[in-house]
Amino acid sequence: MKYLIVGLGNIGDDYSNTRHNIGFIAADAVAFSFKAPFGSGRYGAVARTTLKGRSLVILKPSTYMNLSGKAVRYWMNREKILPENILVIVDDLALPLGAFRMRKKGSDGGHNGLISIIEHLETTDFPRLRIGIGNDFAKGCQIDYVLGRWSAEEEKILIPKLETVVELVKSFVLVGPDKTMNIFNKRDQGSKE
């Protein structure tokens, strides 16, 4: 069995360590847990590893968020991976900082990366993991907030959550989305004490 783990973000120093790049940060954490280095590939940085006989391709698209679907479609076809074995990791303004929700399918929720993937794959039937970045911004300042860098306080909340994200990805590969959602979606993962 082969799996494609996709962390969405934007390439370049201007975007590194920004809220919108939580997908890249999560993909880095997953690859690091396997000691799998990223190499340069077509349409993105790619790391490869295995988990109990299953092959994982970890992708950070280099196409920028709005064209993420081009990279996902290319690697899905090249590696002959089924849409249900793709897990896309994205940021979500609607969830509290550090909370996350996994779904087997669904709408784009207004997320440009998901819009592109749905367009290129011609289906909404692929798993996605939404990681909350909170919505602590003034009216009209959403873009500045999403593309802003993490504060020290936010990093204190977020960094420990990455370990759980890695566990979730491994669970998705080993036991599938249904059991993984049952385990991880029920946890109280928000930043509130």
Q: Tens digit of pLDDT for each residue in 157-180?
A: 888 899 999 999 999 999 999 999
Mean pLDDT of 7-17: 90
Distance (Å, whole) CA 60 – CA 181:
23
174 domain residue, yes or no: yes
Decide: pTM greater than 0.85: yes
CATH code of the domain containing 52: 3.40.50.1470
* Rounded distance between C-alpha atoms, residue 13 and residue 123, angstroms: 32
If you compute the radius of gyration of the chain from its CA atoms, what whole number of angstroms results? 15
**44-51 and 54-61: which strand pairing?**
antiparallel
Please report whether residue 111 resides in a domain.
Answer: yes
CB contact set of 146 (below 8 Å; sequence gap of 6+):
18, 19, 20, 91, 93, 133
CA-to-CA distance for 47 and 27, rounded, in angstroms? 9
On whether residue 191 sits in a domain, the answer given is: no
| Domain hosting residue 138, numbered range | 2-184
Position 135 scores a pLDDT of 78
Domains in the chain, number: 1
What pLDDT, in 10s, does the model give residues 80-136? 999 999 999 999 988 988 899 999 999 998 899 999 999 999 999 999 999 988 877
Question: Residue holding tokens 């873009």?
Answer: 143
Is position 193 within any domain?
Answer: no
Could you list the active site residues?
20
pLDDT digits (tens, 9 = 90+) for 44-91: 999 999 999 999 999 999 998 999 999 999 999 999 999 999 999 999
Collapse the DSSP code of 19 into the 3-class scheme (helix H, G, I; strand E, B; otherwise coil) and give the result.
helix
- Whether residue 99 is contained in a domain is answered as yes
